[in-house]
Amino acid sequence: MSEAKNSALSEEMILPKPDDFHVHFRQGESLGAYVRSSAQWFGRALVMPNTLPPVVDAGSLDAYRKKITACLPESLDFIPLMSFKLLAGMDAKTVETCAAAGAVAGKYYPAGATTNAADGPSNPGAVSEALSAMESAGVVLSIHGEDPDAPSLEREAAFLPALEKILDRWPRLRIVLEHLSTREAVDFVAKGPERLAATITAHHLLFTIDDMMGAGLNPHLFCKPPIKSAADRRALRNAAFSGSPKFFFGSDSAPHARAAKESARAPGGVYSSPTAIPALLGLFESEGALEALKPFVASSGARFYRLPAPQGRLRLLREPWTVPGEIDGIVPMCAGSELAWRLA
Considering only residues 122 to 181 of the shown chain, the ones binding ligand DOR according to CB under 6 A are 144
Residue 272 binds which one of ligand DOR, Zn ion, none, with CB within 5 to 8 A depending on kind? none
Measured in degrees and rounded to the nearest 5, phi and psi for residue 307 equal: -110, 160
204 is a contact residue toward ligand DOR (CB under 6 A): no
Q: Which is nearer to Zn ion, 57 or 252 (CB)?
A: 252
Q: How far is the CB of 252 from ligand DOR (least distance, A)?
A: 6
Q: Which is nearer to Zn ion, 156 or 252 (CB)?
A: 252
Q: Are 48 and 22 in contact (CB under 8 A)?
A: yes
Q: Which is nearer to ligand DOR, 114 or 244 (CB)?
A: 114
203 is a contact residue toward ligand DOR (CB under 6 A): no
Q: Percent helix, strand and coil across the chain, each rounded to 5? A: 40, 20, 45
Q: Could you give the CA distance from residue 16 to residue 73 in angstroms, rounded to a whole number?
A: 21
Q: How far is the CB of 131 from ligand DOR (least distance, A)?
A: 20
Find the residue with minimal CB distance to Zn ion: 252
Within a 10 A sphere around the Cβ of 259, how many other Cβ atoms?
7
Stretch that binds ligand DOR, among 30-38, 198-206, 266-274, 282-290 (CB under 6 A): 266-274
115 is a contact residue toward ligand DOR (CB under 6 A): yes
Q: Are 225 and 117 in contact (CB under 8 A)?
A: no
- Sheet containing strand 247-249, strands side by side: 19-23, 44-47, 79-85, 103-108, 140-143, 175-177, 196-200, 247-249
Q: How far is the CB of 75 from ligand DOR (least distance, A)?
A: 28
Q: Which is nearer to ligand DOR, 94 or 199 (CB)?
A: 199
Residue type, 334: C
Q: Are 116 and 124 in contact (CB under 8 A)?
A: no
Q: How far is the CB of 145 from ligand DOR (least distance, A)?
A: 10
Q: Are 195 and 172 in contact (CB under 8 A)?
A: yes
Between 57 and 96, how does the x/- string for binding to ligand DOR read (CB under 6 A)? Answer: ----------------------------------------
Strands 313-322 and 338-343: antiparallel
What letter would DSSP give residue 249?
E
| Residue 210 known to be catalytic | no
Q: 3-class DSSP state for residue 13?
A: strand
Considering only residues 267 to 306 of the shown chain, the ones binding ligand DOR according to CB under 6 A are 267-269
Single out the residue of 50, 199, 201, 299 in contact with ligand DOR (rule: CB under 6 A): 50
Active site residues: 252
Q: Which residues bind ligand DOR (CB under 6 A)?
A: 24, 50, 114-115, 144, 223-224, 252, 254, 267-269
